[in-house]
Amino acid sequence: MKNTILVVGSVALDSVSTIHGSTKRALGGSAVHFSISASRFSPVKVVGVVGEDFPVPFKRFLKRRNICLDGLEVMPGRTFHWKGRYDRDFKNARTIATELNVFRHFNPKLNGDHARCGVLFLANIDPDLQRGVLSQMAGPRLVACDTMNYWISLKRASLVKLLRDVDLLFVNEEEARQLTREYNLMTAARKILKMGPSGIVVKRGDSGAMLFYGRQVLSIPAHPIEKVVDPTGAGDTFAGGFMGYLASAGDWRDFDALRRAMSYGTVMSSFSVEDFSVKRVGSLSSSEIRARYDKYVDALSIK
C-alpha cells in the first residue's frame, strides 16, 4: 500500500454563488476535492464524517472514482454545510453561513488498512486532530498537510509541533507570512523549512505556485483559463493532483518528480474552476488531463 493515499479532512455540502450562477448543497469539502483529483493518479482512502442527509448518489460518485469510503463515518445529524459568494474578481469568497453540524464532533479513528497507507495527506482541519491522525499511522513514507489562517491564529503551537513530523506543507502566501511573521515570501519559506518540513508548496491563486525544497526554489504560473466559474476547492484540487502524481512517482524526494507534481497540480486545479463543485474534475478523461499537461509543460519547457 505504499502508493495508496490516506486523506483526512472535511466532506461537505456547499452552496455557492458566482457571476455565472449558483449551486445548492453540492458535493464539496477539502477531502472531496483532494480525493477526486488525487485518484486520477493513485488509489485514495478517505477518513471523514457526514450526516444522515448526505446524498447516496454522492457516495456512489466517489466510489466510482477509485476512492475508498470505508472511513467515511455517518453520524446522526446534518452534514457540514458552507454557503458563500464570490465577487466578479473571484479573489476571495464571502462566507454567508458555516454550519459545522456533525463535523463539529469529528474525531478521526483509523483502521488497520488506513494506518498502513504509504502516503498521508492531512487536509485543512484542527492541528490537534492532524497530530492525532499521524500518531495512529504505521510509518508512512510521505506525510503532507494543509492549514489555514484560522488554525495559525488559534493553535499555532500545535501546528508548529505537527510540522516537526511533516515532509511537505501546503499554504498560501498570507498563511506563510502569518505563520512566520515575515512579509518576504522567501524569508518566510526559509523559516518554515527550519520548523521541520522538507518542502513547502505556496499556492498563489491566479499567480501560480511556488515550491521551496531544501535550497531549491521553483515558481510556476497558473494555467490560463478563459472562464472561471467557481474557484471553490481549487487549492485542494491542486494538492490532490500534486500528491496523487507524487505518490505514483517512486522517490518523492527527486526534484524532477516534484517539478512534475507541481505541473499536474496546476493542471488539475485549472480544470476545477471551469464548473461548479466537482463537476469538471469528476468527469475528466485521462486523455484530457494528459493533453492539457503536455501543452502546459511544453510552454514551460518542463520535461
pLDDT for the residue numbered 205: 87
Helix, strand, coil shares, percent, the chain, to 5: 40, 25, 35
pLDDT of 91 > 90? The answer is no
**Per-residue pLDDT tens over the stretch 97-120:** 999 999 999 999 999 999 999 999
- CATH architecture type of domain 5-300: 3-Layer(aba) Sandwich (3.40)
Q: Alpha-carbon distance 271 to 37, whole Å?
A: 10
Indicate the DSSP class of residue 87.
Answer: -
In this structure, the dihedral spanned by the alpha carbons of residues 233, 235, 241 and 242, taken in order and rounded to 10 degrees, is -160
Task: Report the percentage of the chain scoring pLDDT > 70.
Answer: 99
pLDDT for the residue numbered 121: 98
Q: Alpha-carbon distance 169 to 197, whole Å?
A: 7
pTM above 0.85, yes or no: yes
Mean pLDDT of 81-103: 92
pLDDT of 303 > 60? The answer is no
**Per-residue pLDDT tens over the stretch 236-264:** 999 999 999 999 998 999 999 999 999 99
pLDDT of 93 > 70? The answer is yes
Pairing verdict, β 119-122 and 142-146 = parallel
Among 300, 283, 214, which residue's Cα sits nearest to residue 253? 214
